[in-house]
Structure 1
Amino acid sequence: MGQLDPKLQMLKDLTDAKGIPGNEREVREVMRRYIEPYSDDITQDHLGSLVAKKVGKADGPKIMVAGHLDEIGFMVTQIDEKGFLKFQCVGGWWEQVMLAQRVTVVTKNGEIPGVIGSKPPHILPAEERKKPVDKKDMFIDIGATSREEALAFGVRPGDMAVPVCDFTVMKNPKFLMAKAWDNRIGCAIAIDVLRELQGIDHPNVVYGVGTVQEEVGLRGAKTAAHFIQPDIAIAVDTGIPGDTPGISEKDAHSKLGKGPQVIVYDARMVVHKGLLDFVTSVAEAYDIPLQYEAIPGGGTDAGSIHLTGHGVPSLAITIATRYIHSSASIIHRDDYEHAVKLLVEVIKRLDGEKVKEITFG
């Protein structure tokens, strides 16, 4: 791949890191390493969410910018007598994208390569061949010959397995492929926002947050928001584009490279109209492209954050991402850069008076 520029190196380090819900330590350490130089204070809540604090005005409103650390993956639940691993999906997986995919099993003794297997189609009845293989009939093959050998490798129930997909700059270098864009891109944006606020006066206290366990119910966002008690929150996540074959505009109309998405409605939150109007006005003032989406079947960390305490005006800004919840996904670098610019300009204008206007106007 050659030498990467520093920003791409950060994206590589974040996406290559392994961390399913409940096992985010490696990702948290990467995010901490990158965000700490731009933080006045850095800590974590008791569930493991990382909280980096950047003070502009000490008594100003508290602004929370949150991406989630965890990625979808698998947890080892059993080792059979022949050394094959049964597993539980952690986060939402579709059977169609799982079979024959390489994985890395992370054990107490180190990492082990594996592949997701099942019965070959050659021995299945004709009707069964037409159906997707059920998750419960899949297993992970790590090249062990027995349970005893797998145990000797260090494998234990509770170990995580994650997909294999190295960070890749594609032939058109604006397109970036990796595993776990959902949601390491949100973590990268939180880091870059604090980086861009270095040396800039802003009228608030900004919290760049890496939450845990988003993929299993927005859990870390809830504990992190209770910890921070923010006045305004923006969740940064991935969204669905409609620019690949077979998707109609009624399903999704966003396109990669046409700007970050603003989620006006999802299954966990109706967007706060005052905050939406303010953010879109800033985007218009700075010619930052925006796309609008409604996702009735999904949700972001904003769904937990906005219900904290007496309520927190919240918004989700997402990066259109092809093939999320699979082993490899693709984003456009311009969308990432525009999201950072938008959030920085929004934060610079979120003083106490503006927050009061948004909240009670």
Structure 2
Amino acid sequence: MTQLNLDLLRRLSEIDGVPGREEHARDLVRTEIEGLVDELREDALGNLIALKRGTAPEGERLRVMLSAHLDEIGFMVKFIDDQGYLRLQNLGGFDTRNLFARNVKVWTNGGELPGILTPGGRPVHIASAEDRKKVPELREFFVDLGLGAEEVRRRVRVGDSVTLDQAFREVGDLATGKAMDDRASVFVQIEALRALQDTPPRHDVYAVFSTQEEVGLRGAVVAAYSVEPDLGVALDVTLAVDTPGVGPDEAVSKAGEGVGIKLFDGSMISTRFLVDEMIALAEANGIPYQLEVLPLGGTDAGAIQRSRGGVPSVTLSLPTRYIHTVVESVHKKDLQATLDLLVAYLKH
């Protein structure tokens, strides 16, 4: 069992990086893993690819590709109106019910600007009954920078990224904050590389910190093509809808009951022999696990599996409550179980 470094998880959660602008998160990861791996490179799409060489003779070593994505859901400025309000293009999927009155950061060439994200329309004091029932569309949201239109145009340009602003905190047994999708898995991947220092893997491990997952698994597509793996293991979050208002048949997974071993999602059906190996390892090592079927969504394993002539692939999923909000919550026991199973697999 590896001790959880929650300060690293905090820093990963709070740092910013929307699809296509992952450089802050990538730089943090680079700092953490330099010295833990034998090779480290960045490709044309901004994927950070780390190689930890195995101990087996060169002709006998397989290439095992891990992938956890750096990007978080966010926005891009698409228009500045006559009053200086910013209109947005989403980068990833949002439920607009979770976007009311949010603090945001706008990332400009001159640095970050604090802003307020909210939909247009009447406040509750003067809203009609019909107004109060309405769920606004994303096109109705704007960012208020508290500056005049001329100053906004001087400092902001179309294409600047916008991220949600939220501090990490611990709530009981939960670690809660923005971008746990997928920085919690990035955390697991970093800590797995650290755990391999004492007992190196038998096979070559390519740990990919991928880009642009939230807009179509794009980074993993090119990373898998260049790595040419024999096996693929994605690390990502999954739904833990073990909360009021949802039946147990729709929960997908439950927080605190162990790592999710994915069977199916919208991007892939996991390779069965890898599923069976993960189950056997979990049971042999006393690692709590649950089997996961996710009706929609996908992970980097969907890209890895379809690379070149096909790659046997599976996803280890971290059960997460309130996905795609600023209070994404992972259970510490599930973090531990995911890390333990990944390390056991790589050493096995």
TM range (shorter): over 0.9
In the alignment, which residue of structure 1 is the partner of 2:96?
A: 95
Question: How many corresponding residue pairs?
Answer: 341
For residue 129 of structure 1, what is the aligned residue in structure 2? 132
1:304-342 residue CA offsets vs partner (Å, 9 max, x unmatched): 110011111100111111111112211111111111111
Q: RMSD of aligned C-alpha atoms?
A: 1.4
Instruction: Give the conservation status (yes or no) of the 8 Å contact 2:252–2:293.
Output: no
Is 1:229 aligned to 2:228, yes or no? yes
User: Aligned residue for 2:152?
Assistant: 150
1:119 aligns with 2:121: yes
CA distance in 2, matches of 1:93, 1:229: 33
- Partner of residue 56, structure 1: 54
1:296 alignment partner in structure 2: 295
- Matched ranges for 1:111-260 at <5 A: 111-117=112-118, 118-121=120-123, 122-146=125-149, 148-152=150-154, 154-170=155-171, 172=172, 174-260=173-259
What is the CA-CA distance between 1:202 and the residue it aligns to? 2.2
Q: Distance in 1 between matches of 2:18 and 2:218?
A: 13
Give the counterpart letter for 1:73 in structure 2.
G
Runs of at least 5 residues in structure 1 that lack an aligned partner in the other structure:
350-361
Task: Assess if the C-alpha contact under 8 Å between 1:67 and 1:183 holds in 2.
Answer: yes
Alpha-carbon distance in structure 2 between the residues aligned to 1:104 and 1:254: 32
2:162 alignment partner, SS class: strand
Q: Which residue of 2 aligns with 1:357?
A: none
- C-alpha deviations, 1:263-285, integer Å up to 9, x for none? 11111101100111011101110
Matches of 1:72 and 1:48, distance apart in 2: 17
Identity of aligned residues (%): 39
Corresponding letter in the other structure for 1:299: G
The whole-number CA distance in structure 2 between the counterparts of 1:197 and 1:169 is 28
Instruction: Look up the match of 1:270.
Output: 269
SS of the residue corresponding to residue 287 of structure 1 reads coil
For 2:84, give the aligned amino acid. Answer: G
Q: Is the 8 A contact 1:82 1:144 kept in 2?
A: no
Per the alignment, residue 11 of structure 1 pairs with: 9
Aligned counterpart, 2:74: 73
Question: If the length of structure 2 is used for normalisation, what is the TM-score?
Answer: 0.95
Q: Which residue of 28, 37, 40 maps to 1:39?
A: 37
Secondary structure of the residue that 2:189 maps to in structure 1? helix
**How many Å separate the matches in 1 of 2:310 and 2:185?**
23
CA deviations on 1:21-51 (whole Å, 9 max, x unpaired) are: 1110111001111112211110022111110
**Residues 179 and 328, structure 1, Cα contact 8 Å, conserved in 2:** yes
Cα distance in 2, alignment partners of residues 295 and 237 from structure 1 = 12
SS at match of 2:250: coil
Map of 2:336 onto structure 1: 337
Structure 2 letter corresponding to 1:20:
V
